[in-house]
Structures are given as C-alpha cells and as structure tokens.
Amino acid sequence: MNLDELYKQMILEHNKHPRNFKDVDPCTHYSHGKNPLCGDEFKVMLRLQSNCVEEIGFLGVGCAISKASGSMMTDALKGKTVEECLALKDQFLDLVTQDKEVGSSLGKLKVFEGVKQFPVRVKCAALVWRALEDALEQGSEEHTVSTE
C-alpha cells in the first residue's frame, strides 16, 4: 500500500470513528478553532496535571480531514508534556507545509504529509493543532482562534 492509499484509509477510518471526540470536564485549557474557508469548527479541551496531558478531547463539526486530524492529534498527545505537545505541533505544521525532512516522533501522524498536495486542505489538517497551541497559551478562558 502506498502512502496515498494509507492516507485516505486512515482519514476515512478516523473520520468515521473519531477518538477522544468528547468533552473534557473539568478542563484546564480550552480553545475554539475555526477554519472559515472550509467551515470546520472544533473546540479542543485539555486537562493538564503536573505539566502533562492527563485528558484531551475535541468536539465540533468539520470535513473528514479536520476531524481525522483531531482524532489522531488527541491520540498522539495523551500523556505528553506541554513541551512535547508544542514540539509535535511544530513538526506537524512543518510536515503539512514544508518540503523538508521532519522528525520521526510524528509516528502515524506522518500520513498527513498527503495534504501537502492539496493546499486548500492544509488549513483543515492544521486547525486542531492551531487550537491546541492557542489553548496551551491561553488557558481556560473562553476564546476563539481562526485560521483566517
């Protein structure tokens, strides 16, 4: 199976059965991400305990790519430290926007390399990561981040 097929299969599977698609209550960090270009809208919620992600979830509506991205992101970040989350976020954004080698710690998230071929889709894949970054910066105050 080539990367293109793997990519499509993973996206479809995660879109159908998103992981961590739920509220986190109580949560310590929260952000609401919007991608007006496509109509994707997700909130990302985290509960940090001693600088580690104890619980993480996301909820909202969006296309298959944005939803699959949220599913795989939340799976990847559980148990990680804030620094590890931010490092992974940088690597992910590099993966979908830059033509350079990225670190191996992305694991399964590497299938998103496929979106680079579809520039309009990059924002869909990046949305939940932007919201994550915003949540970690802002804490639990109610606010919204937009890709536009």
The residues binding Zn ion (CB under 5 A) are 38, 40, 63, 66, 124
- Rounded to a whole number of angstroms, the minimum distance from the CB of residue 86 to Zn ion is 23
**Is the Cβ of residue 66 or residue 74 nearer to Zn ion in the bound state?**
66
> How many Å apart are CA 110 and CA 146, to the nearest integer?
24
- Rounded to a whole number of angstroms, the minimum distance from the CB of residue 56 to Zn ion is 21
**Is the Cβ of residue 66 or residue 71 nearer to Zn ion in the bound state?**
66
**Is the Cβ of residue 3 or residue 61 nearer to Zn ion in the bound state?**
61
Q: What's the order of all strands across the beta sheet hosting 40-49?
A: 52-61, 40-49, 29-35, 144-146
**Is the Cβ of residue 63 or residue 106 nearer to Zn ion in the bound state?**
63
| Structure letter (DSSP) for residue 144 | E
- Rounded to a whole number of angstroms, the minimum distance from the CB of residue 9 to Zn ion is 18
> How many Å apart are CA 136 and CA 148, to the nearest integer?
20
The SS3 of residue 131 is helix
- Rounded to a whole number of angstroms, the minimum distance from the CB of residue 43 to Zn ion is 15
